[in-house]
Amino acid sequence: MTLPELSLLLISVLAGVFGQFFLKIGALKLGKVEIANAFNHLISMITIPELLVGLTCYGTGAIVYILLLTRVNLSIAAPAISLSYICSVLLGHFWFRESIVLSQIVGLAAISVGVILVISHK
């Protein structure tokens, strides 16, 4: 993977991770959705800035991912985008104080090795 391709990959991953971050913050503001309040929650989603920022980040990430797909094979880009899983778990741990158990660490290590193997293919 060339430097421009790697840059597109990282921008896409980071946009997705920031999207998840802002969606989580917005979801915490939204509160727990139940059947009785589902409609009101759907309407109030458009009034929570963090949710709109999160969706914008996701859209940006998708556009950059499309640009990446013009340059690399899907069989490389799709597995490489799983770097977002690693970033999301770390973000959840450090920002939202979510716990990370040993099985998650092993899984994240496996993803890391897999991504390295996939993107180093020539």
Domain extents in the chain:
3-119
φ and ψ at 71, to 5 degrees? Answer: -115, -25
Tokens representing residue 117 in the block: 């193997």
Per-residue pLDDT tens digits for 5-33: 999 999 999 999 999 999 999 999 988 87
Q: From CA 70, how far away is CA 30, in angstroms rounded?
A: 37
pLDDT of amino acid 24: 94
> Does pTM top 0.85 for this prediction?
no
Q: Which residues lie below 8 Å from residue 38, measured CB to CB, with a gap of 6+?
A: none
Mean pLDDT of the residues in the chain: 91
Question: What are the helix and strand counts (H, E) for the chain?
Answer: 6, 0
If one compares 95 and 42, the residue with the highest pLDDT of the two is: 95
